[in-house]
Structure 1
Amino acid sequence: MVLFFKPSLCTKGTGAWILRYYNKVSKKRTKLTLGHYPKMGIASAEKEAKF
């Protein structure tokens, strides 16, 4: 699993926390948006990623 931040292209200071993981059922890499910055900080994103 990889947690990364994708900055917004149109609004400065915003972006999304993305979790990329391997789905064993579909046998593909999958992306999941956990939340949007600044509403969700890195600590909250890390907690959500550990589900």
Structure 2
Amino acid sequence: MRYLWRFTGLTDKWFYKLIKDGLFPKPIKLGRSSRWRQSEVEDWLLQRIADSRSG
């Protein structure tokens, strides 16, 4: 989760809300830990940037 916070500046609460709303990739569960593929997070961020710049 620290990676997500550093990479985006968003909090863990925000990410879990986005996941619940279907707006962010679901985590990979490893025991009690949640992990994300870096490529999925980067794709999500690039899409957000593209969406914000299109009319």
In terms of fraction of residues, the more helix-rich structure is: 2
TM range (shorter): 0.3 to 0.5
| TM-score (norm: length of structure 2) | 0.31
In terms of fraction of residues, the more strand-rich structure is: 1
| TM-score (norm: length of structure 1) | 0.33
Greater RCO structure (CA 8 Å; 6+ sep): 1
